[in-house]
Amino acid sequence: MGNENSSSKSFDFNASSADGEDDIDLSVPAKKRRLLRGSISLRSIASLASSALSSDQKSTDTEKTSRKRKHTAIPQSPSTQSMVLGYERHWPGLMGHGFEPEFPWRSDVTESDFLFLNSVGNGRFGNVYRASIRSKPSQQIALKVQNKSDILKAEAEEQICNEVKVLKSLGKHKFIAAFLDSWQTQTELFTVMEYVDGYGDLFTLWSDYGQFSEELVRLYGVELALGLDYLHDNSIIHRDIKMENIALDIKMHVKFVDFGFAKFLAQKDRTHTICGTLQYMAPEIARGRPYDLAVDWWSLGVTLYVMRTGSYPFPNNNALNHHELVFEHKEFPESCTQEFKSLLKRMLALDPTQRLRNSQNLFTQEFFHNVNIEGIYHQNVCPWELLKNECKTRNYDSQDQPQGGYSEHYSRVFSGFETNYNSMETD
């Protein structure tokens, strides 16, 4: 839920208005996301989740935010701070208007129940903090604090409330960060989430480690597909799947985070808002056509491609808006197997009706043959152990040979993390 400085430059477009006409909010560069380490036991703070599953309402498509980052030849992280071009609006004196029931005035907990430890990121309307429960200091959570007046000025009430609606509707899932509680005061909104204890996000790991092997891509592909299926089974479209929005826990299992562009969408329904991150954006979104849940499987396909190859599948690195995106000239490095190429061609089909769009069809592809899907779901396969072994034995091309050799590269990338991991294992 945090971010840090990034030299990247990207647009996240979001275009909609009350009367159905599209408008585009421009954004400015900001910081990239890196989650810090922490720990959480959901059972020991179960009281926080008493109201977490109460909402199953459908939301409208009126988010008004966008992000921008600088493109290079390799993936960069997203911008999470935005500015909105427009006018300042006057709002009612009662600052709670427009935020209920997602942010109730009264909650079982308040901000005074937490000890703020440090800021882990800042966004358009406020900050995200790592915090602990005063009565149980060892239990940590992520606490997002947003300024209500800034939200009202940007006319972003529906987007903020919509994210909480989506999160409240979800039960606990292994591959999705858990929502715990939300409330408001006269001037601020508070959202409590699971604090993912681990390496950071998938982009950070990829940046530190380098291209992933097909074995690791296969493992992460299964975890992500299972998490995405759960969202779609609950009629939720994410619309911003990318490495930066996938957190890693202490064993480096994935968790979807950042539901700022998510909304309720039934299996057969369509929507039309132009939003997401350019390099991961499905062609039907970029072309302004109505789209459905298939756009998330496109974004997942781009994510797998980037993890394996280190580049985007299409030459969109310098695109400044969705009109400039092209979806031709996809190429695969020689190191990719035919099974991986075949999988990505199905996931990145330009026609969404021909695209792989659920885990059941995905796992029938040859790339996933002989994979223990149930074992991966129950997290019996540890990505950290796989990474550790690969880093010590992987063969680098001469130009990619790490300075100081393999052992120094392993130490530089993982030594601090391994200390934390071993400490957790012996607790």
**Cα–Cα distance for residue pair 199/204, rounded to 1 Å:** 8
**Cα–Cα distance for residue pair 58/263, rounded to 1 Å:** 8
**Cα–Cα distance for residue pair 21/334, rounded to 1 Å:** 45
Check if the beta carbon of residue 154 is closer than 8 Å to that of residue 84: yes
Contacts by 124-128 with C-beta closer than 8 Å and gap 24+? Answer: 124/65, 124/80, 124/81, 124/82, 124/150, 124/154, 125/150, 125/151, 125/154, 125/156, 125/160, 126/150, 126/188, 126/189, 128/1, 128/2
**Cα–Cα distance for residue pair 396/173, rounded to 1 Å:** 37
What count of other Cβ atoms lies within 10 Å of the Cβ of residue 39? 18
**Cα–Cα distance for residue pair 193/144, rounded to 1 Å:** 8
Q: Which of 61, 240, 249, 258 does the annotation list as catalytic?
A: 240
Is 165 assigned a ligand-binding role in the annotation?
no
Active site residue 351: no
**Cα–Cα distance for residue pair 161/193, rounded to 1 Å:** 15
Check if the beta carbon of residue 25 is closer than 8 Å to that of residue 124: no
Nearest to 358 by CA among 254, 225, 222, 255: 225
Binding-site positions read 144
Q: What residues are labeled active site?
A: 240
List binding-site positions for ATP.
144
